[in-house]
Structure 1
Amino acid sequence: MAVRRAILATCAASIALVGFASAHGGAHQKPLEVDPEADWATRHMAEEHHISNFDPGAFFSLHDYDDNGFWDVREILKTYGMEDETAKDVPEEKKTEIANEVLRLIDTNGNNVVERDEWMYFTSNDGGKEKGTLPDFGTGPGHHWDIEMEYEIHHWEKYHDENTKEEDLIHPEDIAHFKKHDELEDEAERQAELDKMPIVEHNIPPKFLRAT
């Protein structure tokens, strides 16, 4: 319950803070309306980042997670949400398809990464080429935040506000979220107990024991 109260307070504070920003010309917190016909990247920006317009340079920088000037395969998959637990049942073949198709479309020099210049060219109309967009692989909006941010973006903002009380957190998404917290807390406590235990010699594989 303490964890639930802490999260409740954090979400409410976040809404209040963004509400203050809205009153002073900032962005609002509620989910943006997105054209159902919009391309995947535009919908991703609206649903995951609360950004209503698509700017190629900003999109690239936002998803260059280690800020090294290119997207590697891991970053491509992370952008498509393949590192999130919602993708745990996505077959490896599908993940390989996603990475390979993005590279096929954008990686013109064949070094298996998407460099910023390649991305900017892909999303432009240079040379009369049709402007490119990231494919929609049918795997969702591309969850890549931690569990708190994902919960706040995809559930809290839609159904709760700063007036929400503990007894209001009864949606399946609320229950699943706090169950996950309980599991993480239990695992942390279990690990802490293990860390306190002395080394038990008979649990050590023989190959790691010194010959006597």
Structure 2
Amino acid sequence: MINIFSILFLAWLALAHQEGTSSQELREKVPDEFEGSWQRWHMKQEHDLDHADAKSVFILHDTRNAKRLSKLDILRMYGLLREEVVGRGDGTGSHDDTEVITDDMKNHLVQQVMSLIDKDGDGEISFDEWMEYSSQGGEFPDFGYGPGHEYDFEEEYEKHHWIQYHAENDPDVMVQHAEDVEHELLHHLHEIEHEKAGSGYNQRFPIRLSKIPPKFKA
């Protein structure tokens, strides 16, 4: 018997399939509610904080507790401390939207941020430099790379969905949401891609649409 997950899986493939594999650029606008402030968007999306002052923003991203933000801290904040963004980066989305993060992207972002805040040019942002920049209305700018998912797509899914809906009352996922289905598809297609890399296998869509019964394509 075909269960609801199988039906959703086949329907998703039918809707998502295109000839070859398309790749969308990492471009995501700041939602209107944040009035153009990427920093506010990031703090709400990733840290669940509606109002965070400059000191809190700094402390949350100072991973070494050194009162300094390094290049790695900046990349982590923007979600670029990885080789690729899988799906939307939050554990859901289409695997066809997975985007490679290049060294050029990383270097450009770090250079731009440092040029704004790192006044002594030592390659890191001190607490004093940040507070001075913030006191003049400065914020971490938007580069169009989304809200800055700081962890990999598995951890992001757990943080943004699993903990809220399944961790306590539904650990066996008896109730499946669209996010659960998307995540499972994303997880399996990502595994297939990396297991079959260089094999010539259809890495992103291993199931042939021609073999899917028409009733599941409607």
TM-score of Structure 1 vs Structure 2, range by shorter chain: 0.5 to 0.7
Q: Deviations over 1:38-73 (max 9, x none)?
A: 411111010001011021111101101111111111
Q: 1:104 to 1:113 in 2, by over 3 A?
A: same
List structure 1 segments (4+ residues) > 4 angstroms apart after TM superposition. Answer: 161-165, 180-183
Compute the TM-score of the two structures, normalised by the length of structure 2.
0.57
Other-structure match for 2:173:
166
The one-letter code matched in structure 2 to 1:174 is H
SS in 2 for 1:166: coil
Q: Give the structure with higher Rg (CA).
A: 1
Q: How many residue pairs are counted as aligned between the two chains? A: 146
Aligned to 2:46: 48
Q: 2:75 maps to which residue?
A: 77
The aligned counterpart of 2:16 is none
Q: Note if 1:138 corresponds to 2:144.
A: yes
Are the aligned partners of 2:76 and 2:150 in contact in 1 as well (CA < 8 Å)?
A: yes
Taking only aligned residues, the RMSD between alpha carbons, in angstroms, comes to: 3.0
Distance 1:104 1:182, change over 3 A: closer
AA partner of residue 175 (structure 1)? E
Residue matched to 1:175: 184
Shift of 1:149: 3.8
Report % sequence identity.
33
Gaps of 5+ in 1: 1-32, 126-130, 187-212
Q: Deviations over 1:169-197 (max 9, x none)?
A: 363433146538988xx9xxxxxxxxxxx
Match of 1:122 among 122, 133, 141: 133
- Of 165-174 and 70-79, deviating more is 165-174
> Of 37, 40, 55, which aligns to 1:39?
37
8 Å CA contact retained: 1:41, 1:54: no
CA, structure 1 residues 64+73, in 2 after alignment: closer, same or farther (shift >3 Å)?
same
Q: More helix per residue: 1 or 2?
A: 1
SS at match of 1:123: helix
In the other structure, the counterpart of 1:60 is 58
Asked whether the equivalents of residues 34 and 43 of structure 1 are also in contact (C-alpha less than 8 Å), the reply is no
**Hey, what does 1:86 align to over in structure 2?**
85
User: Does 169-178 or 58-67 show the bigger shift?
Assistant: 169-178
Letter in 1 for 2:188: K
Structure 2: 5+ residue stretches without partners: 1-30, 87-98, 196-218
